[in-house]
Amino acid sequence: MTTPHEGISLARLLREAGLRATRPRRVLAELLFAKGNRHVTAEMLYEETMAAQAHVSLATVYNTLNQLTEAGLLRQVGIDGSKSFFDTNMGEHHHYFLQDKDAILDIPADAAVPLELPPPPEGFEIARVDVVVRLRPR
């Protein structure tokens, strides 16, 4: 199985991120990376492992998502300080949050407007800007 990461194998992707390619990590990496870019919560991914009868605990799903985020393979997008989505698209982009569906979507690059940002305080630089535009059905 290959990945969007230059066609390298999932096992190699994990090893290059400094993670042993254990069975649960390979199962989760395949769900995350084998089908193009995705936004998932830990609960969504856990349900997918259940549907695939992969027998991975929810705690392992949480731990692995955090390890992949620390390794730079996932980006965490927080909503309301309680809900976290994990994004496989590491490129610079912003999100729509669909309030009625509890889902996030990428804002297409050509739909994004440049932001006027305040200068950072003395001694700081801007590391990243996360914009979440909340949508509700009309």
Please report, as ranges, the residues that interact with Zn ion according to CB under 5 A.
87, 89, 106
Of 50 and 90, which has the nearer Cβ to Zn ion? 90
- Taking the complex as a whole, the smallest distance from the CB of residue 12 to Zn ion amounts, in Å, to 24
Say what angle helices 58-70 and 42-51 make with each other, to 10 degrees. Answer: 120
41: which residues sit within 8 A by CB, 6+ positions away?
83, 84, 85, 86
- Taking the complex as a whole, the smallest distance from the CB of residue 77 to Zn ion amounts, in Å, to 7
Of 62 and 96, which has the nearer Cβ to Zn ion? 96
User: Nearest residue by C-beta to Zn ion?
Assistant: 87
- Taking the complex as a whole, the smallest distance from the CB of residue 39 to Zn ion amounts, in Å, to 6
Contact 10, 26 (CB under 8 A): yes
35: which residues sit within 8 A by CB, 6+ positions away?
none
Of 9 and 89, which has the nearer Cβ to Zn ion? 89
